[in-house]
Amino acid sequence: MRMVDVIARKRDGHSLSEQEIAFFVQEYTQGRIPDCQASALLMAICLQGMSISETRALSLEMARSGEMVDLSAVPGVKVDKHSTGGVGDKTSLIVGPLAASCGAPVAKMNGRTLGYMGGTLDKLESVPGFCTGLPQKEFVNIVKTVGVSIAELAKNLGPANRMLYALRSETGTLNSIPLIAASIMSMKLAAGADAIVLDVKTGSGSFMRTLDSARKLAREMVRIGEGAGKPTVALITDMNTPLGRNVGNSLEVIEAVSVLRGEGPADVAALSLELAANMLYLAGLGTLDACRQRAQRAIADGSALEKLAELVRAQGGDASCLSDTSKFRPAPVQGVFRAVADGYVTSMDCRRVGTASMLLGAGRETEERRIDFAAGIELLRKTGDRVQKGEPLARLYTSAQGRLDEGKWVLAQAFALGSRPPANPPLIYEKIDKESMN
């Protein structure tokens, strides 16, 4: 088999066979196909698309390109949850312990995040001592003994995905839905869980800007998961407004703790509850309504928060920060952004809020850049709120005055004010599972 022939077939709009896809992934991972040919195939896929059978084959082959986590030693149905990413999205910190406290083992492995937000790993690492770089054996043992572990993807898991993602970022081929779906699902399949819940964001602060594109991605990923024998559910959720009030790593841990105490922002609490309920449902722990009630009780009786503390202790972190969040190191430089006029907050550009948080130090533009765990934004007003001129809209946290000035300048472009309140979009647009696609 020749790579040039595989490229030509996809260029001309033909479907690739499982053998051709396996040849490409295996040979490229082993360094026997050059970047120029791999780039040509990626561009052909962007232009011609892939059938669901092709995308599923690509996902499975990428998952098998390295080791795969074996969770057979953990009793029960192991569940994983993945979000396509958004501003203020700290739900993994909540739903992992919440589902585990209700009896569903949660095994979650994450990659590092580039861009305007720190990822789940960065948020957890803002807890002093918390270790995300676990050997696979220890990761599995924590899932078995605690019920939940959140760790960094091992280097030997999904090498094809890391290599192809780096190439896609350099060749303008990131926005292909089949390639996005294969990238995400290959890592979920390699991580070993039995069932998968997906949170697919749509809106100004997400990768999928339109509802239609989010729906296409969600359907593709559910089909891949189900085709691989992993029950999979996707919720399409709004990211036109940041989720919750806090944006930034330790700030988001603090907010996650408040939700597990039953005190957090309503949007974070509602989405976390729905995600957790679907995780419990896929784990076979009752009807969706019964699972929702079970999760509510775990928050009310404190068992979900205690499970987060168990997770932190098991991975070397200082769990006393959860009972006393004032122990998180405060940012040395703080400032307030104020409303320039009376009116309603009619919209918030999530991407600009995220960019402002990155400039403050909460995200990374390059892999080498260190994250400032204390940096971020506290949103004092959000879309739909009535404000008066001079009233604080947000509080900014950083380590340097120059960063504060940059963050304020970008944040000023994120808030739009008007004379009438806007219509509020739904928090959850729709749920996609195998039944809804039949």
pLDDT in tens, 314-367: 999 999 999 999 999 899 999 999 999 999 999 999 999 999 999 999 987 766
pLDDT in tens, 291-304: 999 999 999 999 99
Query: Residues, the chain, total?
Result: 438
Q: Note the Cα 272 to chain centre separation in Å.
A: 13
CB 262 within 8 A of CB 300: yes
Asked whether the predicted pLDDT for residue 45 surpasses 90, the reply is: yes
Asked whether the predicted pLDDT for residue 113 surpasses 70, the reply is: no
Using alpha carbons only, what angle is made at residue 203 by residues 365 and 349, rounded to the nearest 5 degrees?
65
Average pLDDT, stretch 1-29? 95
pLDDT in tens, 240-255: 999 999 999 999 999 9
pLDDT in tens, 165-218: 989 988 999 889 999 999 999 999 999 999 999 999 998 877 787 899 999 999
Give the pLDDT score at 111: 77
What CATH superfamily classification does 3-49 receive?
Transferase, Pyrimidine Nucleoside Phosphorylase; Chain C (1.20.970.10)
CB 285 within 8 A of CB 298: no
Tokens 């819940």 map to which residue? 197
- The kind and range of the H/E element at 261 are none
CATH architecture of 330-418: Alpha-Beta Complex (3.90)
> What does each C-alpha distance from 131 to 124, 145, 149, 318 come to in angstroms?
8, 17, 11, 11
Average pLDDT, stretch 32-57? 95
Percent of the chain with pLDDT over 70: 97
d(CA 155, CA 351): 30
Asked whether the predicted pLDDT for residue 283 surpasses 90, the reply is: yes
Identity of the amino acid at 280: L
Q: Tokens for 45?
A: 């896929």
pLDDT in tens, 61-110: 999 998 899 999 999 999 999 998 889 999 999 999 999 999 999 999 88
Q: Tokens for 413?
A: 């472009």
Which top CATH class is 79-323? alpha beta
Other CB atoms within 10 Å distance of the CB of residue 133: 13
Residue extents of the structural domains in the chain = 3-49, 79-323, 330-418
Give the pLDDT score at 435: 86
Give the pLDDT score at 277: 98
d(CA 68, CA 11): 32
Average pLDDT, stretch 261-275? 96
